């Protein structure tokens, strides 16, 4: 109950604060133009875009995620010993196989 009350209070409070601080509101063309993801802020979601962008993005996520494994692994490496070390080597080897594959297939070439 308290949680809900606090949550509602903060949510509503932030709204009000933003509205209040945002005075005076003067929207213009520059402010409404896309500036972050390269997309128009308000338009049809089904738009054309370059598929290569997605390929790279997916590959990036794939290899980015391995960091999520590597950090905790590095922290406890002392404790998990040689087995832990070997396990990561195997994991990375598989990853490397995938990397070699994508490289050789040309997935990393933009043109």
Partner 1 sequence: MEFQIPDFAPAYPEIFLLCMAGAVLLLDLFLGKRFRNLAYGLSIASLLATIAMIIGSSQQATTFNGMFLRDLMGDILKIAVMLFTIMVFIYSRIYQQDRHIFKGEYFVLALTAVLGMMVMISAGNMLLLYLGLELLSLSLYSLIAMRRDSLHATEAAMKYFILGALASGILLYGMSMIYVTTGTLDLAQIHAAIRTGDSANLVLSLGLVFVVVAIGFKLGAVPFHMWVPDVYQGSPTSVTLFLGSAPKLAAFAMLMRLLVGGLENMSGQWQQMLIILALFSIGFGNIVAIAQTNMKRMLAYSAISHVGFFLLGVLSATPDGYAASMFYILVYGFMTLGSFGMILLLSNKDSESDMIANFKGMFSAHPLYALVMTLLMVSMAGIPPLIGFNAKLAVINALVESRLYWVAVVAVLFSVVGAFYYLRIVKFMYFDQPGEAIRLNGGMEMHTLLTINALALILGLPWIGWLIRICNSALAQLS
List of residues contacting partner 1 (CB under 8 A): 79-84, 94, 97, 100-101, 104-105
Q: Is residue 39 left, alpha or beta, with left meaning phi > 0 and alpha meaning psi from -120 to 50?
A: beta
Q: Which two tokens stand for residue 14?
A: 């932030």
Q: Which two tokens stand for residue 105?
A: 């297939």
Q: C-beta of 81: minimal distance to partner 1 in Å? A: 6
When the beta carbons of 26 and 82 are compared against partner 1, the nearer one is 82
When the beta carbons of 43 and 50 are compared against partner 1, the nearer one is 50
Quickly tell me which residue has 């308290």 as its tokens. 2
Backbone angles phi, psi at 40, to 5 degrees: -65, 140
When the beta carbons of 20 and 83 are compared against partner 1, the nearer one is 83
Q: CA–CA separation, 53 vs 47, rounded Å? A: 14
Q: C-beta of 71: minimal distance to partner 1 in Å? A: 19
Q: C-beta of 80: minimal distance to partner 1 in Å? A: 5
């Amino acid at each position: 109950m308290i949680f809900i009350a606090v949550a509602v209070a903060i949510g509503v409070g932030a709204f009000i604060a933003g509205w209040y601080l945002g005075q005076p509101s003067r929207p213009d063309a520059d402010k409404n133009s896309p500036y972050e993801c390269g997309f128009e802020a308000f338009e049809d979601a089904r738009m054309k875009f370059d598929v290569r962008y997605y390929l790279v993005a997916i590959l990036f996520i794939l290899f980015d995620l391995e960091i999520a494994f590597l950090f905790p692994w590095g922290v406890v490496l002392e404790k998990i010993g040689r087995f832990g070390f070997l396990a990561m080597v195997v994991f990375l080897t598989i990853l490397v196989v995938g990397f070699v594959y994508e490289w050789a297939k040309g997935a990393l070439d933009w043109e």
